[in-house]
Amino acid sequence: SQQGEEDPQALSIQEGENATMNCSYKTSINNLQWYRQNSGRGLVHLILIRSNEREKHSGRLRVTLDTSKKSSSLLITASRAADTASYFCATATKTETSGSRLTFGEGTQLTVNP
Amino acid sequence: DAGITQSPRYKITETGRQVTLMCHQTWSHSYMFWYRQDLGHGLRLIYYSAAADITDKGEVPDGYVVSRSKTENFPLTLESATRSQTSVYFCASSESMGPQYFGPGTRLTVT
């Protein structure tokens, strides 16, 4: 089963509005990362938040992490049409044998209408 | 060119054929990963490698083989391709638990 689950699955907003996506996970993590994927392309890393951090900002992005609720949210402020993409959360966990790995959620498809 | 590259970008093969997807990175990252992404879904980890000659299974390893004789290369082989392996395959690299850097993907169709 997926470690990270995003909510909502799809989100459609108007340019200039804020977009909020949520991610829930099940096990202890080292950090949580958010990625963007434009149609037909590879994933691009957006932001990483460590398990001992509660909030992080990067430009128009704001990420929060609540380890007690095992959840995270990604806020994109003042959205633009170019923000249209799929957004994935990924949880980083240590493995017993080979260091670390990421587990991705199913993603949120964001559409920003001009 | 610096970065992570995958080849081929597109591949059509027949059921039962062996196919190898190539991945090359120029950052000397320790970790490399192979994922598959099926239409409308997230990524599922096939295999990963923490260093040369160290590989480990992910969520969906059946039907796939990997090797890592050099730090910069991480080929993925489908030993006998099946239709269920039709997918987009992404390679990625990283240092430990940091951000992963993804290649452009290989779109594989098994007929």
- Per-residue pLDDT at A1: 38
- Per-residue pLDDT at A97: 67
Q: Considering only the beta carbons, identify the residue of A41, A103, A107 that sits closest to B104.
A: A41
Q: CA A21 to CA A79: how far, in whole Å?
A: 13
A98 and B56: CB-CB below 8 Å?
yes
B97 and A30: CB-CB below 8 Å?
yes
At A10 the three-state DSSP class reads strand
| A5-14, A23-32, A42-51, A88-97: segment of lowest average pLDDT | A88-97
Q: CA B97 to CA B103: how far, in whole Å?
A: 18
- Per-residue pLDDT at B1: 56
- Per-residue pLDDT at B25: 97
Q: Which of B80, B100, B99 is nearest to B91 (CA)?
A: B100
β-pairing, B31-37 vs A85-94, is unpaired
B45 and A102: CB-CB below 8 Å?
yes
Domains and CATH numbers, chain A: 5-113 (2.60.40.10)
Q: Report chain B residues whose CB lies below 8 A from the CB of A43.
A: 43, 90, 92, 100, 102
Is the peptide bond preceding residue B61 cis, with omega within 30 degrees of 0?
A: no
Q: Report chain B residues whose CB lies below 8 A from the CB of A61.
A: none
- Per-residue pLDDT at A113: 96
- Per-residue pLDDT at B82: 98
Q: What's the average pLDDT block by block, 10 residues per block, for chain B (111 residues)?
A: 89 98 95 92 91 92 96 97 97 90 96 97
- Note the Cα A75 to chain centre separation in Å: 9
- Per-residue pLDDT at A7: 85
- Per-residue pLDDT at B96: 79
Q: Report chain A residues whose CB lies below 8 A from the CB of B66.
A: none
The model's pLDDT over A51-94, given as tens digits with 9 standing for 90+, comes to: 999 999 999 999 999 999 999 999 999 999 999 999 999 999 88
- Per-residue pLDDT at B2: 66
- Per-residue pLDDT at A98: 63
Closest chain B C-alpha to A49 CA, distance in angstroms:
10
Tokens representing B4 are 């992570």
Residue labelled with tokens 């128009």: A60
Closest chain A C-alpha to B101 CA, distance in angstroms:
7
The model's pLDDT over A2-20, given as tens digits with 9 standing for 90+, comes to: 466 788 999 999 999 999 9
CA-nearest residue to B103 within chain A is A42
B50 and A88: CB-CB below 8 Å?
no
Domains and CATH numbers, chain B: 4-110 (2.60.40.10)
- Per-residue pLDDT at A2: 45
